[in-house]
Structure 1
Amino acid sequence: MERYSSRRKLTAGQRDGILFLMALILVVLFYRNFPKKEVELNAPVLDDEMRCQIELLDNLRRERQMKSRVVIYPFNPTFLNDYRGYILGLPPVAVDRISAFRESGNWINSLEQFQMVTQLSDSVMERIAPYLELPEFLQNSGKPRQVVKETSLIGDLNTATQEDFIQIRGIGSVKSKQIKTFRERIGGFAHMHELYAIYGLDAELIKRIKSRFTLDQPRSVDLIRVNQASASDLATIPGIGYEVARSIWLERRKIGGFKNWSELRSIPEIGLREFALIEVYLSLE
């Protein structure tokens, strides 16, 4: 009788299938029992310059939002100042020309004269014309109005009272309080130029204050090295906003550092007002 083996031989395909199944089981068991490690994701580290740029962008965004909400009322073009020029989008040099024209004792008598002094284009004049309002007596006057000069001294700028400031023509209770509050906030004036940082004081009014007050004991100032300062450092100067500070910082990087004051003055965003403040707080060292 023919004997049969009790073991049944497996084909090559069956053996491969069994091996594959065992390998798959081992892989599943390995991953199920393998200890899971939590992956720690480190937040990106921002350097000082990157943080400064983010801060500048945030402040510029807020400034634009505030600017879009500002309501401009018609005003006498003779009294165009830095604030109105900024809101109307005028170049600082146009404001400087009006300031120089006004300080020489002249008044704007017509829109044509305003355009001639500021050298603005026809398209810009057409855009801002609704905001320029000439008083009737100036429209009908053929001669520029002369400004009466006051020369008698009142006292020291750092010790003057609100009543002292009110003696200046053009300064009332509101502006006198602004000057006193600003003086207290900065710890006393270091230079007459700091008056340019006070909102509402134009060049003509500041000129009157300078002619009637002295500054015998100015406060000391730690100068900021413009060639080493960050944009945030520059923005701490009273009256200098983030936009001007950023322009200074970008220009410095572009030219590799400022060598003289004329290079700073050539920046389009810096007018007479900004430059007067910069001279008080910055150093070229």
Structure 2
Amino acid sequence: MNKLKSLFMFTSDQRKGIFVLLFFIVALQFVYFFTDFNITQTISPDKQEWLAMQSKIDSIKASNPKYIVKVYPFNPNFITDYKGYKLGMSVREIDRLLDYRKENKYVNSPKEFQAVTQISDSLLNAIAPYFKFPDWVKNTTQNKGYVKYENKAFAKNEKTVLIDINVATQEELIKIYGIGEVISLRILKLKENLGGFVSMEQMNDVWGLSPEVIGALNSHFKVYALPMVHKIDINNASLKEISQFSYFRYALAKEIVTYRSMNGDIKNVEDLTKIKGFPVEKANIIALYLDFD
């Protein structure tokens, strides 16, 4: 009995230690019950927008048991967040494709699409029949090499008459294999922003054009005469005006303003090539849009 009683006899320091231990136990219980341990994930505004539509779409499907999603043929290289969701892709799978496209790379077959996105075989089998790649991709795959194809829309017995790219319509651009409504509008938008093209080399600046399609454009279009563009007064234009030029980003525009404030007037395009970040390979084209006087 005395031995058992001795087990419950504590010194003053031991009693303090027990009290502190009990205090921490109680405090940890409070933290556990009243703290939210869920990790907050940051989602971009664009993803928030299309994810918010998910519940609406699901409710529509639930209310209509006969609801069938009709899928039209599409180029898988240009799948958007919302389009990917409708096809059954996860956010991570869509992001893998978008990251791949940011590197200006393209998938040219269902197998490459799966390798990039890492979607399941079952999902690939469900959506691959709707993939529509440009005809030049099919020709290249079949012949295992570059094939110079003839555009049937322009095929004639006589010599092809080149069209001035600065007066070309959207309908004329779409006749080129590999150019659809979206890319044709990009070409026309760039022409509008610049005031006109000064060289067919500028087709390389249109996002989404492959070398084969650019070659086809050069076979049917050309710049007959330099357009009357509104030139930028590079020595007097404001930072905002310079940054709005298609070939200058804000950071480069800022470098240009700093350079001229420290070195005086910019006399020619060679002066601009000394500035950090200036696209030297496009200097001759850029010069035609600038006024150095």
For the aligned pair, the TM-score class normalised by the smaller chain equals 0.3 to 0.5
Output the TM-score relative to the length of structure 1.
Answer: 0.41
Output the TM-score relative to the length of structure 2.
Answer: 0.40
Larger Rg: 1
